[in-house]
Each structure stands twice: as structure tokens, then as C-alpha cells.
Chain A
Amino acid sequence: MSNKNNIQSLFPILKSSVNNNKLVYLDNAATTQKPNSVIAEINKFYLKENSNIHRGVHHLSQVATKKYENSRLVTQNFINARHSHEIIFTKGTTDSINLLASSFGQLLKKGDEIIISEMEHHSNMVPWQMCCERSGAKLKIIPCNKIGELDLDMFNQLISNKTKIVSVTHISNSLGTINPIRKIIEISHQKNVQVIIDGAQAAAHVKLDMQKLDADFYCFSAHKLYGPTGVGVLYGKENLLNLLPPYQGGGEMIKDVSLLKTTYADLPHKFEAGTPNIAGVIAFKKSLDFITETGLGNIKTHEDKLLDYATEKLNSIKGLKIIGTSSDKSAIISFIIQDIHHYDLGLLLDKMGVAIRTGHHCTQPIMKKFKISGTSRISFAYYNTIEEIDHLILAINKAIKMLS
């Protein structure tokens, strides 16, 4: 465990105390904490490097542009994309999906169909509902079973020659299920349908290889990978990104503007209108470095250990029921406790220094499916420890005692 303490020491916020207890941060699916290296890089940018990118001939602009573009290369390597211009920087997963829904929307027409799943985050649901409203396309939903797994038989029935897009989450943020996306991509490609993967909950936890996976688009957020908020990634295959019309108009995304007609810049700039979160993108490299140096294999091994340990401990609590019990799960556990409202539990745990998430986790349809108003959710990152889980279990038991 001393090794783990060393990891915690890289994340200054983990030393905080909350209500006179050492913080136990178990809300990593919402956002992860940031290591010193990321914080220092943001600081350094504003202290020494701040300037706009891709525009100035002056020294600072050159430095900033180089570092910004270097982040793109590092991101490309991180997910093994074929080209660096297949990496579009956005504001986050939500922004990436909205970009796709908006640009694709212009190519869709009445009669076309889009398939998503029942366990999608609102971010991968609402943009498609809006897209359907605008284009006249129809939304089809892959249901999931009682333990929180997608029903692939139903998917096979839903997909047809009307289907234009399949957009599903890699890992469910409320159930923890790791979806069989490779299979989904394979089935879709047999029907010539393009697949978008919402990787918000995956990129920090499982090794990604775009060339092997063959997803057409893959979206994730830096802030869930120990990186800054306000930075996201949209990966897309070069030929498909070239086909899509631009999302927003503005500076940077143009090649030539006259009053009546504009020709668009090449990838990736076509999709990066306006001044981006330069400091954030630059610091994002440091968080990718952290993950790469730690090794996603090590991260997965450690998080799986936490998942197994916590699952066992939680299951031994009377009246507690885990929602989402697929055999293939990421380090996210949603649960309910008989006769105890998740809000009350979250409040008491907070008093004991334990940060968890309570509510519907922006996945209201799946909550309705399980006939609950919400859950308590714990989610791990690499810096969490077995001791913290022990503390959590003690705290839950104390809360249950107080509440019953």
C-alpha cells in the first residue's frame, strides 16, 4: 500500500479534509482529481507561454502552437489513431457528441434511423433526440436486461438498411457495464452503419486502440482522465470527418472567406472554430503522460481489485442491492439500500469525509427501467485504496444505523 500512498501524494487535493475527516474521494466517474504535473502545466502556460495559437508569427504563439499540436500527437498515440488530424479537440464528451449529432443531422432525412441504448448518459441521448426532431429521423433504443447488459439480439433486430448511425456508450456511468462494443461495431459494419462510441467512462480505465477497435468515432473528456475540465476529444476516421459538414463557423476553421462563400480548412481545423482551451489542451498531455507512465494494465489490475473487494464488502451489508451486476464491469458500483434514500446516505457519508455521487447520474431512462429514483454510486480511480473502501463500509454502516 505504500506504493499507493505515493500515488496519492501526486494529487494535492487528496490531502484535504472534509468535515474534519480525511477526504475519501469516490466520485471519479463524475470527474477525477488532477496530479501536480497537470496543475503545474496550466500554471506554467499562463505564467510563461500564454498566447493564441495557429495565428501569430511571434515567439510565444509559436511555443503555444507547438505544444498544443504536440498534445494532439500524444492523444493520437494514446488511442492509436492512424492520423493526428483524426483527433479533434472539443470541450468534452457532450460537445463531441453534439458536434456529431449536429453535423450528421444535416445529412439525415426522414425515414433514416439512429440507434442508441437504454443506458446512455443524457449526453448521448438528448443530442440525438434533437437531431431526430430536426431531420425527421427516428430514434431506436437497444434495451438492456436485468443485470444491466445490452440485449444484442434486440440490437440485431433493430439494425436495418434504414439505420444510419449507432451511438452507444463503451462503459455505463450508472451501472458500470463494459459493453461489447467490438461486437456492436462488427454487426454495424456488416450493414455499413457508422458507429459512435461514448468513451467518457472508458478512456481512463481500459486501453484504447482505434485501429483495432475500428470505431468510426470515439468521444471522451479530459477531466475524467486526470486532466483539465473543458477539454474533450472527438476521434473520427479521416474519410468520415472529411464527409461531415462543419459544426460551428468562425476563425481557424476556414481556408478562404469571401462575403458570400467560404471554403473550409482541412482537418482537424475544420472542426475547431474559435480559440480553444489552449492551456487545458496543453496540460491534457501531462495527464496522458501520467496514465501512460502508470500503465493502463496496472490501472486496470488495481481498479479491478478495488471493484472486487468493494463489491464483496457492499454485498455483505444487509438490505443493500447493487444495481448493474454484469460480469464485465468497470470500477463503478451503483447501489440502493432498502428503506434508505440515496440523498440521506450521501449527506451522512459526506459528513464522514466520503464523497460519493447520489441521484440518477444523468441516466433517467435506466433508473426508470430499474424502477428506482436514483442510486448511490461509488467509482474508483487509480489512487483509491483498499483502506478507503474499508472506511467507506464503516461509514455506510454508521449511516444505516443513524437512518433506521
Chain B
Amino acid sequence: MNMSISEIEHEIIEEFGVFENWVDKYDYLIDLGKSIPKINPIYKTDENTISGCQSQVWLHAKCENSVIVFTADSDAIMTKGIVALLIRVLSNQKPEKILDAKLDFIAKIGLEEQLSQTRATGLSSMIKQMKIYAFAFKEKL
């Protein structure tokens, strides 16, 4: 049985709880960014681009066995780190669970600033887009 969204969020919060300073936290985020499962290059299309002014994100979604599988990438490693976290939380979940997810783990691990307007990374649009996919697939299922 898959872990639920809130279980995964909880796990991430615990992982980040051990960091005593920002360097360790960001190092971890960078590692996550490097280890993100590669998006198939054929999905790195304009259509799948979520553009931000500073860094951009590519997001692909498909529905398999009534869960949604997300893959994504970004040109900035820090953005990629957070993208990796979001995928870990939301991929392989049922559409209705994705729609309900509040994702407050991002604030709890001290990364909410990454979603702010001024960062313009495309991350907040990415979350929106993930929910739009969830909505669309839910209608289809």
C-alpha cells in the first residue's frame, strides 16, 4: 500500500528537522534536485513548460491504475529540489487526494519563500498545474 500524502509530508518534515543550518538544508535540496527521476526528454516540450521569469519547470502527467504519475524537471537545481519533493508527495496518488492536498510541509520545512511571486520560479504555477491534471483525470476516471 502506498503511503498517503500526509504520511509522506510528515516524513519529509522529519527529514528536514535534523538540519541545524541553511547550508545543510540547501545541500540536501541540491542532492534531491540531482536525484530527481529524469523526465523523458520528449516531454520537455513548450506545452509542458511552466515558465517563470527566473527558472522554468517542465511537468508531465499520466494516469496509471487510477493514480497520477508525475515527472518533471527544471533548469535550476534548487527549483529541481523542490520539484522532487512535490513529486515525491503527489505522484502515485489518486486524483481526489491530490486535489485535497494542502502541501503545508513546504512552509514547515522553511521553503515557502520558494513559492513566492517574486521568486518567479514557476513552482507555484507547477502546483496549480498538478491540481489541474488531477481535476482533469478525476473527471475522466
Mark each residue of chain B from 31 to 45: 1 if its CB lies under 8 Å from any CB of chain A, else 0: 000000000000000
A402 adjacent to B30 (CB under 8 Å): yes
Question: Of B4-12, B20-28, B96-104, which stretch is located at the interface?
Answer: B20-28
Size band of the interface chain B makes with A: 10 to 19
B26 adjacent to A343 (CB under 8 Å): no
Known contacts A373-B75, A402-B27; A341 and B55 CB within 8 A of each other: yes
* Any B CB within 8 A of the CB of A19: yes
B76 adjacent to A343 (CB under 8 Å): yes
CB-defined contacts of B75 to chain A, threshold 8 Å: 341, 373
CB-defined contacts of B79 to chain A, threshold 8 Å: 343
Q: What CA separation (Å) do A160 and B89 show in the bound complex?
A: 62
Smallest CB gap from B27: residue in A: A402
Interface of chain A: mostly helix, strand, loop or mixed: helix
B77 adjacent to A341 (CB under 8 Å): yes
Mark each residue of chain A from 331 to 350: 1 if its CB lies under 8 Å from any CB of chain B, else 0: 00000000001111011100
B53 adjacent to A360 (CB under 8 Å): yes
Among B22, B55, B76, B77, which residue has its beta carbon within 8 angstroms of that of A351?
B22
Q: What CA separation (Å) do A346 and B113 show in the bound complex?
A: 14
Interface size on A, residues (CB 8 A): 16
Shortest CB distance B44–A (Å): 14
CB-defined contacts of B53 to chain A, threshold 8 Å: 359-360
A19 adjacent to B26 (CB under 8 Å): no
* Any A CB within 8 A of the CB of B54: yes
A403 adjacent to B77 (CB under 8 Å): yes
CB-defined contacts of B76 to chain A, threshold 8 Å: 341, 343-344
Chain A 4-33 interface residues, beta-carbon cutoff 8 Å to B: 19
B78 adjacent to A344 (CB under 8 Å): yes
Q: What CA separation (Å) do A351 and B22 show in the bound complex?
A: 8
Shortest CB distance A360–B (Å): 7
Mark each residue of chain A from 356 to 387: 1 if its CB lies under 8 Å from any CB of chain B, else 0: 00111000000000000110000000000000
Shortest CB distance B61–A (Å): 24
A348 adjacent to B26 (CB under 8 Å): yes
B54 adjacent to A402 (CB under 8 Å): no
Q: What CA separation (Å) do A348 and B114 show in the bound complex?
A: 12
Among B22, B27, B30, B55, which residue has its beta carbon within 8 angstroms of that of A19?
B22
Shortest CB distance A236–B (Å): 33
CB-defined contacts of A359 to chain B, threshold 8 Å: 53-54, 120
Q: What CA separation (Å) do A360 and B51 show in the bound complex?
A: 13
Shortest CB distance A371–B (Å): 14
CB-defined contacts of A347 to chain B, threshold 8 Å: 78
Q: What CA separation (Å) do A371 and B27 show in the bound complex?
A: 29
CB-defined contacts of B120 to chain A, threshold 8 Å: 359
Q: What CA separation (Å) do A295 and B79 show in the bound complex?
A: 44
B23 adjacent to A402 (CB under 8 Å): yes
* Any A CB within 8 A of the CB of B121: yes
CB-defined contacts of B23 to chain A, threshold 8 Å: 351, 402
CB-defined contacts of A343 to chain B, threshold 8 Å: 54-55, 76, 78-79, 121
Smallest CB gap from A350: residue in B: B113
Q: What CA separation (Å) do A402 and B54 show in the bound complex?
A: 20
Shortest CB distance B32–A (Å): 13
Mark each residue of chain A from 389 to 404: 1 if its CB lies under 8 Å from any CB of chain B, else 0: 0000000000000110
Chain B 74-115 interface residues, beta-carbon cutoff 8 Å to A: 75-79
Known contacts A343-B76, A343-B79; A402 and B26 CB within 8 A of each other: yes
B22 adjacent to A403 (CB under 8 Å): no
CB-defined contacts of B55 to chain A, threshold 8 Å: 341, 343
Shortest CB distance A246–B (Å): 35
Q: What CA separation (Å) do A343 and B53 show in the bound complex?
A: 10
Shortest CB distance B128–A (Å): 20
Q: What CA separation (Å) do A27 and B54 show in the bound complex?
A: 16
Q: What CA separation (Å) do A403 and B76 show in the bound complex?
A: 10
Q: What CA separation (Å) do A359 and B75 show in the bound complex?
A: 13
B30 adjacent to A403 (CB under 8 Å): yes
Q: What CA separation (Å) do A360 and B52 show in the bound complex?
A: 12
CB-defined contacts of A342 to chain B, threshold 8 Å: 54
A344 adjacent to B22 (CB under 8 Å): no
B residues contacting A by CB (< 8 A) are 22-23, 26-27, 30, 53-55, 75-79, 120-121
The 9 A-B pairs with the shortest beta carbon distances in the complex, nearest first, are A341-B76, A343-B76, A343-B55, A343-B54, A344-B78, A344-B76, A344-B77, A351-B22, A359-B54
17 contacts between A and B (CB under 8 A): A19-B22, A341-B76, A343-B55, A343-B79, A344-B76, A344-B78, A346-B54, A347-B78, A351-B26, A359-B53, A359-B120, A360-B53, A373-B75, A402-B26, A402-B27, A402-B30, A403-B30
Besides A343-B55, A347-B78, A403-B77, 11 more A-B contacts (Cβ < 8 Å) are A19-B22, A342-B54, A343-B54, A344-B76, A344-B77, A346-B54, A359-B53, A359-B54, A359-B120, A360-B53, A374-B54
